[in-house]
Amino acid sequence: MKTKMIFSLLLLASTSFLRGQDVMSADKVMSKGVQVAASIDIYDVDERQVEQWWRNFMKQYTKSIKKDRKSKEWFADDATISAISPSTPIDLYTTIESTGKYVTVSTWADGGTGFINPADNPESFQALESMMSSFAHEAEVEKINIELNSEEDALSKLEKDLKQLQSRNEGYYKDIEAAKARIAKAEEDIRQNVKEQESKQSEIESQRQKIESVKRKLDDTKKGS
């Protein structure tokens, strides 16, 4: 319950952040020249992680998503995105670049007769921006999931540490009980030892008396001779 509450609060904070985050549109150089891209910035995340998220995000629109090693662009072939192009598939070109503190994701959409831009295709470009905003939201959710998993792992480690401490505590109590039993046994052994010493002392005195008796007998015998 507490974990779900934490996740909900983090997600709420993430949503508020995204509402204030604009999708940027600007001319940018890509493999097909200079075209208008819709771009977002994702902070505090690894570039490779964003690439994985983008690949998974694109699977709902296309069966073919791959990265061109030369241009470093992700190419989504014949993507079906009705909000952008209601009747025909489109091709998406995407760059994912780390700038240090954040990763910039820029996407261009080729509608078949040319690249979509806000001047000539305002509704389609707005739909492209909405798609990028949706991806930014999903990326933020994934970031929080990673954070949540990390915190849960930390909690599990702490709980494991506590169990080890509790186990040691039980061991200490057992050691104390065992020590008490050994002390009680030693005390009983001491009492028994004292009794045995007293008995042995009596035997020694008795033996001494026997020796004295034999000595007197010996002296008497020598005198009689």
pLDDT of residue 2: 43
pLDDT of residue 225: 61
**Residue 56 — pLDDT band, cuts 50, 70, 90?**
very high
For 167, the token pair is 């186990």
Considering the entire predicted model, what is its pTM?
A: 0.69
What is the C-alpha to C-alpha distance for residues 36 and 27, in angstroms, rounded to an integer?
4
Percent pLDDT > 90 in the chain is 84
**What is the 8-class DSSP label of residue 170?**
H
pLDDT of residue 57: 97
What is the C-alpha to C-alpha distance for residues 117 and 120, in angstroms, rounded to an integer?
6
pLDDT of residue 15: 42
Domain 2-152 has CATH 3.30.310: yes
Find the mean pLDDT for residues 22-49: 95
What is the C-alpha to C-alpha distance for residues 182 and 199, in angstroms, rounded to an integer?
25
Percent pLDDT > 70 in the chain is 90
Q: What is the CA radius of gyration of the chain?
A: 44
pLDDT digits (tens, 9 = 90+) for 69-107: 999 999 999 999 999 999 999 999 999 999 888 999 999
Dihedral sign for Cα atoms in the order 200, 203, 208, 214: negative
pLDDT higher than 50, residue 152: yes
pLDDT of residue 224: 77
pLDDT digits (tens, 9 = 90+) for 196-216: 999 999 999 999 999 999 999
pLDDT of residue 26: 96
pLDDT digits (tens, 9 = 90+) for 157-170: 999 999 999 999 99
Max Cα-Cα span within the chain:
154
Find the mean pLDDT for residues 178-190: 95
pLDDT of residue 223: 86
- Residue 44: in which H helix or E strand, if any? none
Taking a C-beta distance cutoff of 8 angstroms, is the pair 66, 75 a contact? yes
pLDDT of residue 21: 55
